[in-house]
Amino acid sequence: MLFGHVHLLFALVAASGSLAQLSGSVGPTSSLPSKQKTICNVLNYGGEVGSSDIGPAIGSAFVNCVLTHSGSTLYVPPGNYNMETWQTLDGATKWAFQMDGIITRTNATGGNMIVVENADDFEFFSSNSAGAIQGNGYQARNTGPRLIRIVTSTNWSIHDLILVDSPEFHLVIQAGSNGEVYNMAIRGTNLGGSDGIDVWGANYWIHDVEVTNRDECVTVKSPSNNILVERIWCNQSGGSAIGSLGTETAIEDVLYRNVYTNGGNQMFLIKSNGGSGYLRNVLLQNFIARGTAYGLDVDQHWSGQTTAAGSGVALSNITFASWDGSVVDGVARPPIQFLCEDNVPCTSMMLSSVNLWSDTSSAVNKCGSAFGSGSCLKSGSASSYAVITTSISKPAGYTTPPSLSGDLSTGFATNSPIPIPTIPSTFYPGLPQISPLAKQL
């Protein structure tokens, strides 16, 4: 996104409160044209289209061109490239990485294929909205690298890229601040450990992203504050979440809205097992789903996590507003459940217009040590209590949620290639994308 656009957008929208969860502007602090004074083309630094390993050319272009020229762009032209040497691009300011080609992983070494670290005023994008990394994870399932990792960087964006079949996670945002992620398609396999986007840090805006996998869709981890996630399409995905939460958790001021989940594990999961610290001041608004296993799932006894040290993470002031959707079997897996920590009960859990039902026309909700308003939540002073299971009827406000034309009926197999998709232009039924695709500019 261009500098003028993001800052004008923030000024206009923040005034109306719709960007209230952010603490300031996000994205690069200078325009893209100002970063194109010098073009650091990998073909001039030892690379070639069809290369067996474009990694060294990317590293050389960065060290010998980007680091010596402020206002430069590292450029991978259209074409196909293999990559077997992972690269860490550390320390540049006022630069861009324009990846218009397709890079395919050919080495099973772990780590991260591309790390951008300590960057400031940075943009990672594809001008043709077709630049991609093909991880071919089926050849190195849960043993190879993650695809992209952004580490302790400030004032940056990543957009118009396609990430496919990572052996591990696809995009990891580690600490840092003031970043924007948008207009991306992520295609992973139907298996755990295939996370779409994992983020922790301060003041991040993630929007207009499609994720297919069987683990995290877009998930906030600790420590984090001022995170806005919206217009997300979890298309046969594990679903979005906050967690896993462990010792000294510190997450606050988080807003998810306009999240559509087609199939998958859950509409949304807050997960922990033991631990300490807090998760507070969260709004989860405008969620719709079709055919998920779980619906609204708060599980502080989550079996997928080893018990962490501490008496439990304190969950407080979390609002669930305007939810509509169905789970596959509402008795086996409740549409709504709050399984809170007995030592630190959940407080101020607020449900407003949460209308979740079951494809079997029979469902229960479960609450334990959970306080607030709505569903089976208890009012009054917080204290521990055993899980209460309540049979429910179809909510009066329930409607069959709309769909998107690209909805998948199943996920992708773990033992065969996953094709590279195109980036869609709609990520939530009835809403346009916030920023046009780069190829349309």
For residues 340 and 272, is the Cβ–Cβ distance under 8 A? no
Q: Which of these, 246, 245, 311, lies nearest to 282 by C-alpha position?
A: 245
Phi and psi torsions of 14, nearest 5°: -65, -30
Q: Is 293 exposed, middle or buried (0-12, 13-18, 19+ CB in 10 A)?
A: middle
Report how far residue 157's alpha carbon sits from residue 120's, in angstroms, rounded to the nearest whole number.
10
Phi, psi (degrees; rounded to nearest 5) at 138: -60, -20
Please list, in sequence order, all residues whose beta carbon lies within 8 angstroms of the beta carbon of residue 44, skipping any fewer than 6 positions away. 61
Encoded tokens for 78: 């259209």
Please confirm, yes or no, whether 165 is among the known catalytic residues.
no
**Can you name the residues that pair with 191 across neighbouring β-strands?**
none
- Report which DSSP code applies to 27: S
DSSP 384-426: ----EEEEEPPPTT--PPP--TT--SS---TTS-----PPPS-
The three-class DSSP label of residue 85 is coil
Tabulate helix, strand, coil % of the chain (nearest 5): 10, 50, 40
Of 121, 195, 208, 215, the catalytic one is: 215
Catalytic positions, please? 215
